[in-house]
């Protein structure tokens, strides 16, 4: 095993955990991918985004990193955010967690 990775505390992580019916999981993954490519990735403060599809078909996690919590609040005020979130909300129920990465261990 390698040593722990030094964490950059100059970013904020946003985790969205979605509960979805299995037949809607592929559509939700596509909506998150398209929303990231067309909207979120073009905004100030965006660093990265990942989407994880649960093997049971009922969960999807969207993990994104931003330069600050202020950048997250700014995109939520952007008028183009509403269509993105409405598309997602039509497919799944979500929970949002905002925080700082405090530890990473990698090989």
pLDDT of residue 3: 60
- pLDDT attached to residue 98: 95
In CATH, what number is assigned to the domain containing residue 10?
3.30.70.100
**Total domain count for the chain?**
1
Could you tell me how far CA 2 lies from the centroid of its own chain?
27
The pLDDT assigned to 9 comes to 64
pTM for the whole thing?
0.86
| Structure-block tokens of residue 39 | 């909207």
Determine which helix (DSSP H) or strand (DSSP E) holds 37, and give its type and residue range: helix 25-38
**Closest Cα to residue 75, out of 101, 98, 106, 52?**
98
Give the DSSP H or E segment for 87: helix 81-89
Task: Encode the chain (107 residues) as per-residue pLDDT tens digits.
Answer: 556 555 656 789 999 999 999 999 999 999 999 999 999 999 999 999 999 999 999 999 999 999 999 999 999 999 999 999 999 999 999 999 999 888 777 77
Which residues constitute the domain of residue 36?
A: 4-105
- Please provide residue 26's backbone torsions phi and psi, each rounded to the nearest 5 degrees: -60, -40
């Amino acid at each position: 095993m390698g040593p722990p990775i030094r964490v950059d505390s100059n970013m904020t992580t946003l985790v969205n955990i979605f509960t979805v019916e299995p037949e809607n999981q592929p559509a939700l993954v596509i909506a998150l991918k398209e929303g990231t490519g067309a909207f979120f990735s073009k905004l100030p403060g965006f660093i990265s985004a990942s989407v994880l599809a649960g093997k049971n078909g009922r969960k999807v996690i969207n993990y994104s990193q931003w330069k600050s919590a202020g950048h997250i609040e700014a995109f939520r005020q952007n008028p183009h955010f509403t269509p993105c979130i409405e598309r997602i909300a039509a497919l799944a129920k979500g929970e949002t967690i905002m925080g700082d990465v405090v530890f990473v261990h990698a090989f």
